[in-house]
Homo-oligomer: A and B are copies of this chain.
């Protein structure tokens, strides 16, 4: 089992308690609840609120082992997984759920200067950068072109919309509650997307609601605008305009975490996703399943490819676990079919959109409460749920405090 994300956990959960030795390998000792990562980046939640130690999840399953390490290659012929440090694990069945990484579409400077939001480390680094930027805007406003920092969010999908909404809230708190002397008129949050609408995975009315709400809260939205270059100081658009920016946050899309999937000598689809059979196994290697963001999971047998969503990861991981059990019992594997349960996004305080598979788009306060409830339910661990609830409550009631700490990577303390 490679990867402790949604897909890897779902597959491992399915196999827990059965007569099979499961080893879950991940380079992190924790599972990250990615849908709330943007709240860590915008100092609304703490890292430990959205992450959960993998060992604790499976502490009561004696047949599940956790191995903390990075996979460096997979040898499907010899049934071997090689870890960094040259330790080797052998397998009878393998589930590869190695996840995704930010997709920069080859845009000049994007990989170097834009800030992705895909790991807990990304979120911590972005938070430190945002807060340090606001501090330096307080002491040295003249060092910013606009007299105050401008933040650009690239990509108006759910992550981009949620991040932009949380950023204006962070700015508001820092200026109004923390007394940062930043001119709110000059400090801007700009949300950019190549497409002509926000939330393209949702029905059009959800995108219109997001644009209207974000605009009313002070986010500047530029749809139909392509970024062609990212520099340390800002972004250049296709029409040649250069927008100076203190941070460029990259929410434009994900690709496969390339290093690992590339070692599988199998065909790759769009965005580097590994092509799989209808049962999610590799062609010619029925004992290897590839699931979650790493795989081009078909919506249904022979169908289109699923989007890279948490729901797809959970369902495909669970499917792989079930197929391994079927094969151990001597049965044929079944094809995978995705069951769309809907999508949701939040824009900020009392503003969310929830779109179920059927029925209208629920927006505004009801959409927000639906979002809150579902995310609390899906979060692992009662302690995490409680601390997240405390943090949300605090911010919702506009009380001060909250984890607005700059705990930098390169610390200068003695």
Contact = CB atoms under 8 A, between A and B. Distances in A.
Nearest to A47: B407
Contacts of A223: none
A48 B404 CA distance: 8
B412 A27 contact: yes
Nearest to A393: B383
Contacts of A52: 401
Interface residues of A, number: 69
A398 to B, nearest CB: 12
A171 to B, nearest CB: 13
A383 B400 CA distance: 9
Interface string A366-391: 00000000000000011110110011
Contacts of A414: 101-102, 257-259
Most chain B C-beta atoms within 10 Å of own C-beta, residue among A66, A381, A403:
A403
A271 to B, nearest CB: 14
A402 B383 contact: yes
Given A29-B406, A101-B414, A409-B411, 7 more contacts: A29-B404, A46-B49, A53-B402, A56-B178, A56-B402, A119-B411, A383-B394
25 contacts: A28-B405, A30-B404, A46-B48, A48-B403, A48-B405, A52-B401, A53-B405, A55-B174, A55-B178, A55-B179, A55-B404, A56-B177, A56-B400, A59-B177, A59-B178, A65-B179, A68-B136, A69-B139, A70-B412, A101-B414, A120-B405, A124-B407, A383-B391, A386-B390, A387-B387
